[in-house]
Structure 1
Amino acid sequence: MLLKRLTSQIPEHLRPLLPQLDAAGIKTTENLLFTHPSVLRGLLPDQEVSLEELHGICLALTAPPELLALHAALRLLRAEPTAQCRWLDADGSFHPTRTRAILDAMGENDPTSVLDRLIVSPCFRIDPELYDGLAAIKAEYERDEDHDAGSVTRTRMLVIDPLSSLLKDMLLASTAQGHAAMVTVLEEISELTYSCGLATIIINFPSSSLPNNAHSSFSMTTIRPALGTAFTYFADMTLLVQETGKLFGQVDEEERERVRKQPGLRAVVEVLKSRVSPSGRWAVFETDGTSLSGVVPPRLDDERTIRMSAGLPVGLQRPIHGPLARTVIP
Structure 2
Amino acid sequence: MSNRLAAYSAHLPPELLAHLLDLNIRTVVDFILTPPLDLLARLPRGSTSLGELTDCIASVAQEVAAEGVNGEDMYEAEMKRVIEMDGEEVKAGIADLDALVGGSFGGAVGGRVFEVSGDKGGGKTALALHIVLNHLVHYERAAAIWLDTMGELSPARITQAYPAHTGPAAGTALERLHISLAFDLDTVYNVLDGLRSALQAATGNQPRPRIVVIDAITPLLGPQLTGVTAQGHATMVTFMRSLRELARSHSLCILVINTSTSANGPNPSSVFAETTRKPALGPSFTFLTDATLWVAHPPSPPPPPEREYDPLAEEQKGVENPAEVRVVEVFRSSVSPGRRWCVVRVRNGLLAPL
TM-score bracket for this pair, using the shorter chain length: 0.5 to 0.7
Distance 1:175 1:68, change over 3 A: same
Matches for 1:191-206 after TM superposition, within 5 Å? 191-206=245-260
Moved over 3 A (4+): 107-112, 249-253, 261-264
The question of 1:140 aligning with 2:180 is answered: no
1:189-236, Cα deviation, whole Å (9 max, x unpaired): 111111111001010001111211111111111111111122111211
How many equivalent residue pairs? 225
1:171-320 → structure 2 map (5 Å cutoff) = 171-173=225-227, 175-244=229-298, 247-251=299-303, 265-295=324-354
Going from structure 1 to structure 2, the CA distance change for 1:173 and 1:289 (only over 3 Å counts) comes to farther
Counterpart of 1:68 in structure 2 is 127
Aligned partner of 1:141: which letter?
L
> Which residue identity lines up with residue 202 of structure 1 in the other structure?
V
Unaligned runs of 5+ in 2: 1-117, 308-312, 314-319
Match of 1:93 among 137, 152, 159: 152
Of the two structures, which has the highest relative contact order with CA contacts closer than 8 Å and spacing of 6 or more?
Answer: 2
RMSD: 2.4
Q: 1-side partners of 2:169 and 2:233: how far apart?
A: 44
Structure 1 residues 263 and 223: alpha-carbon distance in aligned structure 2, compared to 1, 3 A threshold: closer
Q: Which amino acid aligns with 2:280?
A: A
Counterpart-to-counterpart distance in 2, 1:291 and 1:159: 17
Give the TM-score, by structure 1 length.
Answer: 0.63
CA displacement at 1:265 relative to structure 2? 2.4
Q: Could you tell me which of 102, 106, 111 is aligned with 2:165?
A: 106
1:100-143 superposed Cα distances (whole Å, 9 cap, x missing partner):
1212123468756111110000010001x110111011101221
Question: Which is higher, the Rg of structure 1 or of structure 2?
Answer: 2
2:215 matched residue in structure 1:
161
| Structure-1 separation of matches of 2:144 and 2:177 | 5
What is the correspondence of 1:69-84 to structure 2 with a 5 Å cutoff? 69-84=128-143
Identity, % of aligned pairs?
A: 33
TM-score by length of 2: 0.59
Kindly tell me: are residues 124 and 173 of structure 1, through their superposed partners in 2, closer, same or farther at Cα, counting changes over 3 Å?
Answer: farther
Aligned-pair CA distance for 1:237: 1.2
